[in-house]
Every structure is written in structure tokens, then in C-alpha cells.
Amino acid sequence: MNKKILVIDDEAEIRILLTDYLSARGYDVRTAEDGEAGLALFNQLRPDLVLLDLKMKKMDGDRVCEEIRRVMPEAKVFLVSALQDVALSQRLQNIKFDAFFEKPVKVSQLGQAIQAALA
């Protein structure tokens, strides 16, 4: 059975890029365009790994991550963000995540980290 990955990102280009890349490597990829929809999909799918944008409409990634951890503490969550300021480093200190990637994300590097996390 293919591993399930949920991509939660408000940028359509990122969702398409990651879906194409990860699907070509045999993963079952689902996407959501905001935190609320992503959390609902997470609760429905219980994916093996979540790729989560930090800054989104409706619900930011840090709040989504908190909810994911409350429901499923062992979930694998990778944060992906373009934010590069002091506020980001402060926010990251309060979030329990498995890996962090800066946008623009290098998909090959992300793919290796996903493969290792799901091995």
C-alpha cells in the first residue's frame, strides 16, 4: 500500500509541484489549500506524513500542527515556509515538527527526507 502524504499549502504552484513530484515516486498525495481544510482532511485520511506551510489563510501551520499533535502525537510533520525573520524562529520554537524546509523548496532534498522518514 502506498504511503499517504498530505500537502497543506495556500500556494497552488507548490501543491502542484509537490503532488507531481511525490506521486511520480509512488506516494498517494492529497492536498488542501488552507489550514482548516487541511486539518479536516488530516482527520479523515490519517496520512503517514504532512507537508505543512506555516503562513496560510484561515489557520496558520503552527495551529494546524498543534491540532495534529493533539490528535495524533506520532504524526510526521514537515514545515515548509518562505518566512525568514526573527518572528519565524520564535514561532518555530513552540512547534513540534520533524523537519523544516525553506521555500523555494528543493524537491530532491525534500524527497530524500520524506523517504527517510517513511522508511
- Report the distance separating Cα 67 and Cα 65, nearest Å: 5
pLDDT for residue 98: 93
Q: Which residues contact 115 (CB under 8 A, 6 or more apart)?
A: 25
Q: What is the pTM of this model?
A: 0.92
**pLDDT score at 14:** 94
Burial annotation 110-119 (CB, 10 A radius, 16+ → b, else e): bbeebeeeee
Rounded average pLDDT per 10-residue block, the chain, 119 residues:
94 96 97 96 97 89 92 94 69 81 91 96
Structural domains for the chain: 4-118 (3.40.50.2300)
